[in-house]
Structure 1
């Protein structure tokens, strides 16, 4: 499997940072070659050409069409992280969602 670059996006990148940390642990357990970063919504544009998937915090669900239009030219899928995964900081479920979305 190719290296995956998973970008989590929230307001300041802080709350998603906790989830990213748990996702890194889950990816390591699964022996996946991944980079997982949490960034503020204002930082995402600079990464579009290098990320595999953009995962939005649940509070950005209403902006999904905007993010899809930004990511489509780069062939980057965009998903909204379900509230239960986000609230429980369930890194393993987040990794599974990314894998499922990417068809891996």
Structure 2
């Protein structure tokens, strides 16, 4: 994948915004062709046409099926950010997770 486009989703986009920022720093440092943005739950649908992977906050795990159904027509892979990655704001592990999803692993 030439440029992996990742969208993070949480309630208001605040927590995921910090995680996205950390992931962007990792991508820049490692010279990865990755873009990471964070948006609130209400904004996700308008971005599906432009992303490869949607990662939702752990508090949305119960809605994973709904997110997957919404994203399927756009061929967007959807996953839940594990609590430990979310709580530690671990940008490197977040990128690894997104890459695995994008590659179908």
Partner in structure 1 of residue 47 of structure 2: 47
Deviation at 1:14, TM superposition (A): 0.5
* Matching of residue 70 in structure 1 with residue 78 in structure 2: no
Q: In structure 1, how many angstroms separate the alpha carbons of the residues matched to 2:83 and 2:63? A: 15
Residues matched between the structures, number:
104
What is the CA RMSD across the aligned residues, in angstroms?
1.1
Matches within 5 A, 1:23-62: 23-62=23-62
Partner in structure 2 of residue 83 of structure 1: 83
Q: Secondary structure at the match of 2:49?
A: coil
Instruction: Give the unaligned 5+ runs of structure 2.
Output: none
Partner in structure 2 of residue 11 of structure 1: 11
Instruction: Give the unaligned 5+ runs of structure 1.
Output: none
Show CA shifts across 1:27-82 (max 9, x none): 11221112210000100111111101000000000000000000001110000000
Deviation at 1:5, TM superposition (A): 1.1
Q: In structure 2, how many angstroms separate the alpha carbons of the residues matched to 1:65 and 1:103? A: 20
Write 1 or 2 for the structure with the bigger share of helix: 2
* Structure 1 residue runs of 4 or more that deviate by more than 6 Å after TM superposition: none
Partner in structure 2 of residue 22 of structure 1: 22
